[in-house]
């Protein structure tokens, strides 16, 4: 199930980044949990998350350096640096679009709900990573202008019991 979700996440991230942010993406195939600390270390990252509530509970986090997100936002909105709009809003919309693809392809319950994305803190992400009752999906994207980390945290009903 985790492999299916990882594949779906990669496909949706790739579609959103290439289709709406005009950014080709390569995935770091050898990225593991040990790499997370290096990614987070001493960096003032912009972090957003979205919750999908269906037969399982899935939280997806996205973390990125502000300067990388600025470049992506310029691509997304087509605005100049002087007219730069909200980079946090662009990151949340990226998660929203990727989440929508995953809802359709991974969840079966017609009651599945894609929540509204929100900005969160590094400690929220670290808390999620340390939760032993969830399966983690780690995806590091290499972009032309930097890196983007996605973390999926899947809580299955049988694990909750």
Partner 1 sequence: MGKLTIMVVDDSSPMREVIIKTIKAAGYSSDNFIQASNGQKALEQMQGNWIDLLVTDYNMPDMDGLELIEEMQKDEVFSSVPVLIITTERRDELINMFMEKGAAGYLKKPFKPEDIRQKIIEILGERICDGNEAEDFDEGLDF
User: Given the rule CB under 8 A, which residues bind partner 1?
Assistant: 15-16, 19-20, 22, 73, 75-79, 85-86, 89-90, 92-93, 96-97, 99-101, 103-104, 110, 112, 114, 116
Q: Which is nearer to partner 1, 28 or 96 (CB)?
A: 96
Other CB atoms within 10 Å distance of the CB of residue 32: 9
CB of 25 to partner 1, least distance (A): 14
CB of 81 to partner 1, least distance (A): 14
Q: Enumerate long-range contacts of 116-119, CB under 8 Å, 24 or more apart.
A: 116/50, 117/48, 117/49, 117/50, 117/92, 117/93, 118/48, 118/49, 118/50, 118/92, 119/46, 119/47, 119/48, 119/88, 119/91, 119/92
Q: Which is nearer to partner 1, 29 or 108 (CB)?
A: 108
Q: Which is nearer to partner 1, 110 or 157 (CB)?
A: 110
CB of 35 to partner 1, least distance (A): 28
Tokens representing residue 16 in the block: 């959103």
Q: Which is nearer to partner 1, 73 or 153 (CB)?
A: 73
């Amino acid at each position: 199930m985790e492999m299916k979700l990882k594949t779906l996440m990669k496909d949706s991230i790739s579609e959103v980044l290439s289709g709406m942010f005009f950014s080709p993406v390569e995935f770091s195939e050898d990225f593991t949990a040990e790499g997370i600390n290096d990614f987070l270390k001493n960096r003032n990252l912009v972090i957003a998350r979205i919750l999908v509530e269906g037969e399982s509970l899935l939280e997806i986090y996205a973390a990125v350096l502000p300067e990388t997100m600025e470049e992506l936002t310029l691509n997304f909105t087509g605005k100049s640096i002087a007219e730069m709009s909200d980079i946090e809003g662009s990151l949340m919309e990226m998660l929203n679009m990727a989440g929508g693809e995953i809802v359709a392809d991974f969840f079966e319950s017609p009651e599945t709900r894609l929540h509204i994305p929100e900005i969160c803190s590094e400690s929220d992400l670290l808390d999620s990573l340390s939760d032993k009752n969830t399966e983690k999906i780690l995806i590091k994207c290499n972009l032309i202008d930097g890196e983007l980390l996605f973390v999926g945290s899947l809580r299955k009903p049988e694990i909750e019991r």
